[in-house]
Amino acid sequence: MEKTITIKYCAPCHFGKQAKGLYEELKVDFGESLTEIILEPSQTIGKFEVFIEKELVFSKIKSDRFPQPGEVGKIIMTRIYK
């Protein structure tokens, strides 16, 4: 699986902890299957978004919540292993 996951998060909101938690979860779930997982701080208030390549697959702003444990992994599985 040659895919890059990017987690963009609001630095002023201190969402780095959630981003790092998701990073660790994806590392455990997918190991070396993913090409790269990038943590990208943002200045956009409230931002917590997950991308597969350039496709937005989760947005806290749109859903008004953080992803549940395992939720992003399920999205990745359905998008990559169609």
| pLDDT (tens digit per residue) in 53-70 | 999 999 999 999 999 999
Domain ranges, ordered by start, for the chain: 4-80
* Helix and strand totals (H; E) in the chain: 3, 4
Whether the Cβ atoms of residue 9 and residue 16 lie closer than 8 Å to each other: yes
pLDDT of residue 3: 87
- Six token digits for residue 79: 């998008």
Closest C-alpha to 69, from 10, 26, 9: 26
The tens digit of pLDDT for each residue in 40-53 reads 999 999 999 999 99
Q: Supply the pLDDT for residue 2.
A: 67
Kindly indicate whether the domain formed by 4-80 is annotated with CATH number 3.40.190.10.
no
Pair 48, 9: CB distance under 8 Å: yes
Q: Is the pLDDT assigned to residue 4 strictly greater than 90?
A: yes
The pTM of the full predicted model, rounded to 2 decimals, is: 0.92
* Mean pLDDT, range 28-32, rounded to an integer: 86
For residue 61, count other CB atoms closer than 10 A to its CB.
12
